[in-house]
């Protein structure tokens, strides 16, 4: 499964394929697959929850390497929203993070924006911005017209 | 100044012009100009620091209206980084927020990702994701090879 997603991302898969490969890399703690998801651009950027912004592949790689040295990250993207154009896709997901505690598995929530662009190498991640989420009010959508 | 930026955004300005109009709308508490920056798409989304994700123009408008009812927001974008393609522009800025306190003006910092797409109406904002920043370590760039 991992390998097939990875290959899909490498050989012209969609933005959705690259997103799947990104979260599989997190879940597996696979630094090679993680970095293969990113575009080869100087100004790609990544913000982990509460962290500084990381600019460029070297800074992003170093942060994921440090993260994976503590183990993999059981982050599962849910409730995807997207805005797409011909060469770009902007995704927002609510990441469910599974944490093992003395009381069993607990969940934490992260709101993440992932931006993909179609490059000469195929669809690639150019930005990941994640921040602490709130499970109780995760989303306010246009359909919730409580004010009217 | 406000009006000229606003017109630029309305009549085929660049992503940079729309970003300038967005921050001017925040600083002026101008809801009409704020909403004119956004694309006419169902799944546009906005995450304010620590808040839920807001999806769609109605939810986004309601949140800015509530925000502006307490006054304008003195947010100034600094240290812009961007990744651009033909029809999309992904910006990351460090927003300096000026706060008036008994001890004078204090600064808070926010990390924000702004994504623009070229629509039939011109360049428009499709996503704004802001989260609390840390002024002391605002950015780790690829050039800071402290690990090597």
Of A53, A57, A142, the CB nearest to B59: A142
Of A47, A55, A88, the CB nearest to B87: A88
A residues 26-65 near B, CB within 8 Å?
Answer: 39, 41-45, 47, 49-59, 62-63
CB B31 within 8 A of CB B64: yes
Which residues on neighbouring strands pair with residue B71, listed in sequence order?
Answer: none
Note the residue count of chain A. 148
The nearest CA of chain A is from the CA of B116 a distance in Å of 10
Return the closest-CA partner of residue A15 out of A94, A117, A111, A98.
Answer: A117
B96 touches chain A (CB under 8 A): no
Distance CA B61, CA A83 (A): 18
Q: How do the pLDDT tens digits run along chain B, 148 residues long?
A: 455 555 655 657 899 999 999 999 999 999 999 999 999 999 999 999 989 999 999 999 999 999 999 999 999 999 999 999 999 999 999 999 998 888 888 889 999 999 999 999 999 999 999 999 876 556 787 654 444 4
B68 touches chain A (CB under 8 A): no
**Which segments within chain B are labelled E, that is strand?**
45-47, 53-55, 75-84, 88-101, 104-119, 122-132, 139-141
Which residues on neighbouring strands pair with residue A122, listed in sequence order?
Answer: A119
A66 touches chain B (CB under 8 A): no
What is the value of pTM for the model shown?
A: 0.90
Which residues on neighbouring strands pair with residue B117, listed in sequence order?
Answer: B88, B124
The nearest CA of chain B is from the CA of A101 a distance in Å of 25
Of A86, A127, A139, the CB nearest to B90: A127
Distance CA A38, CA A58 (A): 11
Give the CA distances from residue A119 to residues A11, A34, B14, B77, in Å, rounded to whole numbers and listed in that order. 12, 17, 22, 28
Contacts of A91 (CB under 8 A, 6+ apart): A15, A19, A80, A81, A82, A113, A114, A115, A116
A7 pLDDT tier (thresholds 50, 70, 90):
low
The nearest CA of chain A is from the CA of B15 a distance in Å of 15
Mean pLDDT, range A68-86, rounded to an integer: 94
Return the closest-CA partner of residue A75 out of A126, A124, A34, A123.
Answer: A34
pLDDT digits (tens, 9 = 90+) for A101-132: 888 888 899 999 999 999 999 999 999 999 99
B residues 99-128 near A, CB within 8 Å?
Answer: 111, 113, 115, 117-118, 126-127
DSSP code for B86: S
Return the closest-CA partner of residue B39 out of A45, A34, A53, A88.
Answer: A88
Confidence (pLDDT) at A110: 95
């Amino acid at each position: 499964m991992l390998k097939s997603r990875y290959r899909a991302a490498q050989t012209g898969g969609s933005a959705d394929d690259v997103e799947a490969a990104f979260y599989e890399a997190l879940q597996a703690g696979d630094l090679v697959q993680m970095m293969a998801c990113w575009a080869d651009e100087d100004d790609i950027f990544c913000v982990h929850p509460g962290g500084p912004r990381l600019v460029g592949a070297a800074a992003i790689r170093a942060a994921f390497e440090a993260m994976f040295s503590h183990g993999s990250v059981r982050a599962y993207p849910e409730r995807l929203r997207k805005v797409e154009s011909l060469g770009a896709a902007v995704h927002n997901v609510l990441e469910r993070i599974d944490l093992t505690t003395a009381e069993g598995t607990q969940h934490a929530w992260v709101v993440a924006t992932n931006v993909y662009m179609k490059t000469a190498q195929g669809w690639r991640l150019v930005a990941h911005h994640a921040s602490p989420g709130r499970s109780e009010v995760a989303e306010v959508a246009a359909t919730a017209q409580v004010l009217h």
